[in-house]
Amino acid sequence: MSTLTADPVPAGAYNSARRERAAADPASLVPALQELARKVRTSDIRMINRAQLGHIGGDFSVTDILATLYGAVLSVDPLDPAAPERDRFILSKGHSAGALYSTLAHCGFFPLSELNTFAQPLSALNGHPNRVKVPGVETNTGPLGHGFPVAVGHALAAKLQGSSRRTFVVMGDGELQEGSNWEAAMTASHYALENLTAVVDRNRLQQGARTEDTKQLEPLADKWAAFGFEVRTVDGHDITQLLQAFSGSTTGKPVAVIADTIKGKGVSFIEDRVEWHHKVPTAQQVEDALKELNQ
Amino acid sequence: MAPQGPDRAAGRGRAEGAEPVTTAAVKVPTFDCRKAFAEELIALAREDDRIVAVCNDSVGSSNLTGFRDEFPDRLINVGIAEQDLVGVGAGLANGGMIPFVSAASPFLTGRALEQIKADVAYSRAKVVLCGQSPGMAYGELGPTHHSIEDLSWMRAVADLPIVVPADPAQTRAAVRWAAANDGPSFLRIGRHPVPAVHPEGTEFVPGKAIRLTDGDDLAVVATGTMVSRALEAAEILRAEGIGLRVLNVAYVEPLDTDAVLQAASGTRGVITAEEATTTGGLGAAVATLLAENAPTRMRILGIHREFAPTGSTDFLLDHFGLSTAGIVAAARELA
């Protein structure tokens, strides 16, 4: 279905590493996942500078979450990205496509060189992800409030089929202002979808201002609990905490992970600044950022 | 009030002033297509355990109580939440199920339009969107519950076939086709009673219009509830010496362009008839095709950007000229 295909060498390496990781002590995985996250950020900022377009702030807040999921949690195979029993992952905050593309490329879903085409005419790598063109993408996102209901459908399908596969969805925090998410939360809870994990990238900034100054989300954990979720609040840049948070439900309820993050995490002059929602770094800023990322 | 131009008075919109028409035909039995829809869906579900029905508290109005009784686990009710409804359908499709996402058409298409565009059509998720009780089937409940915009909205979305069956047999065929089709679709399932319009043994070929009467003077391209009215009009006009070719176009998108072009080239004028606003439905599709390929005199029957007054479905169809009399009047103008 996709117009891109796996890069066999990194895909093979990814698969063997994934098999090893399955048997490993979680603590031993952290350095490799941190290194994956560093590579993802490095490729992403270069890609955004080249395209002169992207969402660096939200990309960097979600990068450690993506690296942990793809590096150690999801059961997915870049050489067989449509395998029926794969785990499902949806990036509902589709504007962070750059972070997703960079993660998928480093895992071998398509060649790293394709990142050079990001946002170019006729590239598979559109400003928002397209499942028809990009292997590993499960649904086309971009308009906010769409990914969570689709994830609920994925999880329902697994349950109807008696499958143990899991579904993860990552939402932005500002995105929770869309009512469709709360429709989906009620459905997930009603159908007791313990195979579903909803992750909130809680960086506290949205496009124009802080979430709490735009339309207040707090008390956010209480909201998720009231909607029937097992709630886990973690540091979204602490891979050890993320690994624990992504373990299965212990209550039979769907899981909500509120990942406290910093928008633009990893680069001091980008971190927690509202203007970096979709500001494009200059060549000099890329150089400065890479120095920090490579420290 | 909407402006009342000469075209409208002449029969493009309402048919006030048109003579009432009675046909010689004996009263024929009529059917609610939702029943055929539900029966065929149950039959399919018995054959294929990937079939699921997804609804928004509309178990009754989508006529899915029988489905629920036989397949309680495969009836997903998301409650009154249409955005969630369509998103869940897309996820079920991705997970290997074949979801029939069913809701009253105004709410399915209006409330969840962006989900239909992004999650279903653009994502190429094999979801069967079932718009129940479309057009003005909810009569006196008024324009909030009418779904006359759905054909315009759905036609604006790429990669989304649209099927408007004209009777129970065609409804069954459409359900079978949608389940087997490789991609999403929108079925418009009628509630307003219609007679069976297809002769016994009619073959329903996906994508193909069905020619129901011969006639070389004028053609009427009709869909859904309007097909039986077009047949009645053909009978009346035959007595006047006007041969009306009736084409049932259930596949509004993609349109059977060969059949429509043949109808235009084989007659002196084309009338389109649909229970929908004329901004972007069947009439607009036919007009676009003919304007570019075979400019033809036309009358486009439908509702011309106007909210309906209070009245029953039959009253409103007559009011807007979507009646046997309205088709006859349009034909007399073109003849």
pLDDT one-digit tens code per residue, A131-162: 999 999 999 999 999 999 999 999 999 999 99
Tokens matching residue A92: 């509902």
Average pLDDT across chain A, whole number: 96
Mutate to test the interface with B, among A139, A167, A168, A177 (most CBs of B within 10 A): A139
Chain A contact present for B53, CB below 8 A: no
- Which among A143, A152, A186 is the nearest to B91, CB-wise? A152
| Among candidate residues B167, B195, B223, the one where a domain is terminated | B195
Q: Name the closest residue on chain A to residue B124, using Cα atoms.
A: A132
Interface check for B97 against chain A (CB to CB < 8 A): the answer is yes
**Is A142 in contact with B99 (Cβ distance < 8 A)?**
no
Q: CB contact, 8 Å: B315 with chain A?
A: no
Cβ contact (<8 Å) for A158 and B86? Answer: no
Q: What total number of domains does chain B contain?
A: 2
Statement to judge: residues B153 and B51 lie in one domain: yes
Report the residue from B78, B94, B119 with minimal CB separation from A146.
Answer: B119
CB atoms within 10 A of CB B196: 17
What CATH number does residue B123 fall under? Answer: 3.40.50.970
pLDDT at B97: 98
Q: What is the pLDDT of residue A1?
A: 53
Q: Is residue A141 part of a domain?
A: yes
Q: Token pair of A284, please?
A: 């000099």
- Residue B11 has what pLDDT? 37
Which residues from A are below 8 Å from B when comparing CB atoms? 1, 84, 88, 130-132, 138-143, 145-146, 148-158, 160-161, 167, 179-180, 183-184, 186-187, 190-191
CB pairs under 8 A between A and B: 111
Residue A244 vs residues A167, A171, A259, A268, B329: alpha-carbon distances, Å: 16, 19, 12, 27, 73
Q: Do residues B142 and B258 both lie within one domain? A: no
Question: Residue A202 falls within a domain, yes or no?
Answer: yes
- Measured distance CA(A110)–CA(A90) in Å, rounded: 18
- Clarify whether residues B186 and B212 are in a common domain: no
* Residues of chain B neighbouring A151 (CB-CB closer than 8 A): 91
| A84/chain B closest Cα distance in angstroms | 7
pLDDT digits (tens, 9 = 90+) for A196-213: 999 999 999 999 999 999
Cβ of A157 and B91 within 8 Å? Answer: yes
Tracing tokens 């909500």 back to the chain, one arrives at: A256
Query: A122 CA to chain B: closest CA distance, Å?
Result: 16
Which residues of A fall within a CB distance of 8 Å from B159?
none
**B195, B228, B250 - which closes a domain:** B195
Report the alpha-carbon distance of residue A117 to residue A129 in Å, rounded: 14
Question: Among residues B195, B224, B239, which one ends one of the domains?
Answer: B195
DSSP B55: E
Nearest chain A alpha carbon to B101: A153
Instruction: Return the pLDDT at A21.
Output: 82
Domain region containing A63: 8-293
Per-position pLDDT tens, chain B of length 335: 333 333 433 334 444 444 444 444 557 899 999 999 999 999 999 999 999 999 999 898 888 999 999 999 999 999 999 999 999 999 999 999 999 999 999 999 999 999 999 999 999 999 999 999 999 999 999 999 999 999 999 999 999 999 999 999 999 999 999 999 999 999 999 999 999 999 999 999 999 999 999 999 999 999 999 999 999 999 999 999 999 999 999 999 999 999 999 999 999 999 999 999 999 999 999 999 999 999 999 999 999 999 999 999 999 999 999 999 999 999 999 99
**Percent of chain A whose predicted confidence (pLDDT) is above 70:** 99
Measured between CA atoms, how close is B315 to chain A, in angstroms?
37
From chain B, the residues in CB contact with A187 under 8 A are: 78-79, 81, 84, 88
* B181 and B37 in a common domain: yes
Burial class (CB in 10 A: 0-12, 13-18, 19+), A102: buried
Beta strands B244-248 and B185-189 are unpaired
* pLDDT at residue number B26: 58
In a domain, B200, yes or no: no
In Å, what is the CA distance from B112 to each residue of A46, B88, B154? 37, 12, 11
Report chain A residues whose CB lies below 8 A from the CB of B118.
Answer: 140-143, 146
pLDDT band for A2, please (50, 70, 90 cuts).
Answer: low
* B125: chain A residues, CB-CB within 8 Å: 139
pLDDT of residue B193: 95
User: Three-state SS for A96?
Assistant: helix
Nearest to A153 among B89, B114, B118 (CB): B89
Token pair listed for B203? 């073959």
Q: Do B94 and A179 touch (CB under 8 A)?
A: no
Please check whether residues B42 and B188 belong to one and the same domain: yes
A86 CA to chain B: closest CA distance, Å? 10
Q: For residue A31, what is the domain's CATH number?
A: 3.40.50.970
Does A247 fall in a domain? yes
Number of independent structural domains in chain A? 1
Buried b (16+ CB within 10 A) or exposed e, A189-225: bebebbbbbbbbbbbbbbeeeebeeeeebeebbebbe
CA distance A283 to chain B (A): 35
In a domain, B6, yes or no: no
Chain B hits for A149, CB-CB cut-off 8 Å, are 83-84, 86-88, 90-91, 115, 119
Helices then strands, counting H and E runs in chain A, come out as: 10, 5
Res B3: pLDDT: 37
Give which of A137, A183, A189, A227 to mutate to test B binding, by max B Cβ within 10 Å: A183
- The pLDDT of residue B14 is 43
Taking phi over 0 as left and psi of -120 to 50 as alpha, with beta for the rest, A151 belongs to: alpha
B48 reaches A (C-beta below 8 A): no
Q: Which residues of chain B are within 8 Å of residue A138 when distances are taken between CB atoms? A: 94
Q: For residue B87, what are its two tokens?
A: 């998103």
In the chain, the amino acid numbered B215 is G
User: What is the residue type of B290?
Assistant: L
The rounded distance, in Å, linking the Cα atoms of A61 and B217 is 68
CA–CA gap between residue B317 and residue A192 (Å, rounded)? 46
For residue B265, the domain's CATH number is 3.40.50.920
Residue A3 lies in a domain: no
How far CA A23 is from CA of A16, A19, A72, A121, B165, in Å, comes to: 12, 7, 11, 43, 56
CB of B183 within 8 Å of a chain A CB? The answer is no
Q: How far is the first Cα of chain A from the last one, in angstroms, to the nearest whole number?
A: 40
Both B144 and B265 in a single domain?
Answer: no
Check A139 against B91: CB less than 8 A apart. Answer: yes
Give me the domain span that covers residue B214: 207-334
ipTM > 0.85 (yes/no): yes
For residues B105 and B218, membership in a common domain is answered with no
**Among B271, B255, B261, B265, residue whose Cα is nearest residue B219:** B271
Q: For residue B247, give the nearest of B278, B269, B272, B279 by alpha carbon.
A: B272
Residue A18 pLDDT exceeds 90: no
Residue B57 sits at the chain A interface (C-beta within 8 Å):
no
Q: What pLDDT does B61 receive? A: 84
